[in-house]
Amino acid sequence: MKDMALWNEGDWIAVIALVVLGVFLSIGALIAGSKKPEFAGHPKGLYMLFFAEMWERFSYYGMRALLIFYLTQHWLFSDGKSNLIYGAYTSLVYITPVLGGYLADRYLGQRKAVLFGGILLAFGHLFMAFEGMHGITDAATKQADPAINIFWLALALIIVGSGFLKANISVMVGQLYRLTDMRRDAAYTIFYMGINVGAALGTILVGYLGQRIGWAYGFGLAGIGMIAGLIVFVLGKKVLLGAGEAPAPLSRNTEMAVYGSGLAAVAVMWGLVQYQDVIQTLLIISGFSLLGWVLYQALKLDKEPRERIFAILFLIALNPLFWGLFEQAGGSFNLYTDRYVDIGGVPASVFQSINPIYIILFAPFFAMLWQWLGKRGLEPSAPAKFALALAQVGLGFLVFVWGAKSVGMEAMTPVIFVFLLYLLHTTGELCLSPVGLSAMNRLAPSFMASLIMGAWFYMTAVGNFVAGKIGEATGGHDGVMTKDATLAIYDQIGWITLGVSVVVLALSPIVKRWMHLDTLRDADHIAGEGELGEPQAAGTHPESKGA
């Protein structure tokens, strides 16, 4: 172990993260040891799900922070190709919950789906620890390294495992409460904190070990984190009070068939993640088909529900643009931070923790802000909030480009501009992600509720793939990132997005009228509104005077 006198900033950050993790685990042990059915006014099952999800996010975001470096520095893919693989992987992670959610609702129930998904995730993260040779091919023999297939398998297992776990564990939170229980929003806020605590701590600890000691140690810790989450989930079954069980008696053959379909999906993802052009084609065809079907259904409705669908489609169409820029964080911006930012002794992957830390700090403020503005009739409408989100993500890139150029292109970019970019992107995320989920829940007619929510996450997946394409462009023709080219692309996408935000803001009064908030009734709402692991946005108030 390194002498404390020799510790640098990165070492201290890792130790602080370890202490914070110890504090949370101590609190978890205290809750688990309590004989009472509730803790701090909530059922113990909520805290069990909190810690299970915390560990899952610990492993997922820790691995995500390392992935672009593993692709470029270990497997020696070009910068452009690495960004494309990264985008393909993250986009598939957002598509598979459609399969996992359907199979849980129809057959398995959420508890068994989460357990199966967690097992796949644990194997996936542990397989990431098999490094093989240094590079895609052996430099001496020019033979392909067979270990690359284990790497593709690991990604496929994580993709499908996330599909079975991601949405289903969030639904279980809602099943612990009655629909009329006033504690539901607070429960999802607590749960959302678990997501971001796990993301922050996993990014720091997994990233630190992976970049400082070895890839296998970082990915191995991610795998251990997932196993810890599984143990918490299995041991805490009794505090779920029956939540997440199968909707009907499940035969052994049916259950095995569902698991078999999950393994078949792993094989499909193993192929898709290697051939990104196929993913692009499938996203385009299925995306237009999905939106076309929604539009076709809308045209058969009466005026008000039809126009609400138009408002939904308007908001959904902005998703790929926002996430395409936002998700540069784990790809091209991660590489830029590593190579061109003055980060001292801190591993670049650790900076991925800034976003979840900002969310923990600012999410309560935004919830109170919308509520405060709403009571005064000044809360911006959902499309106006989307305009603000786009403006902030675009402005984040423009501020960063200005900061990088202000010190001269030959100098390293000051690290303060990394913090500023993440600050603007996080506040933008808080104006779009929970607001969008709330809008989908409010505006979708009941018979299209799941389809609309699926379309929302589908377009988020498209945005992640777009992020990979933008990241690929930073590699230029030869696939190697340069500072000049990357800043030029960041400047271009920043101005374009700022321009789009102005257009969206100008159109927001029209889109707000399409929402017909003044005539919404409970029958139009989705039962269990907000059961997707995100905090509900502050109410979209019909009396709001904002744009």
E strands, 416-488, in order: none
In angstroms, the CA 317 to CA 329 distance is 21
In angstroms, the CA 149 to CA 145 distance is 8
Residues forming beta bridges with residue 342, ordered by sequence position? 414
**Encoded tokens for 540:** 């979209």
At residue 294, the pLDDT reads 83
pLDDT tens track for 156-184: 999 999 888 877 777 777 778 776 677 77
The kind and range of the H/E element at 42 are strand 42-43
- Tell me which of 6-15, 165-174, 377-386 is least confident: 165-174
Place 534 in a pLDDT band, splitting at 50, 70 and 90: very low
In angstroms, the CA 189 to CA 195 distance is 10
**Encoded tokens for 397:** 């890139």
Nearest to 129 by CA among 146, 149, 152, 154: 154
CA 315, 319, 325, 330 torsion: positive or negative? positive
- Tell me which of 48-52, 377-381, 497-501, 519-523 is least confident: 519-523
pLDDT tens track for 104-147: 878 888 888 888 998 999 899 889 888 777 666 655 555 567 88
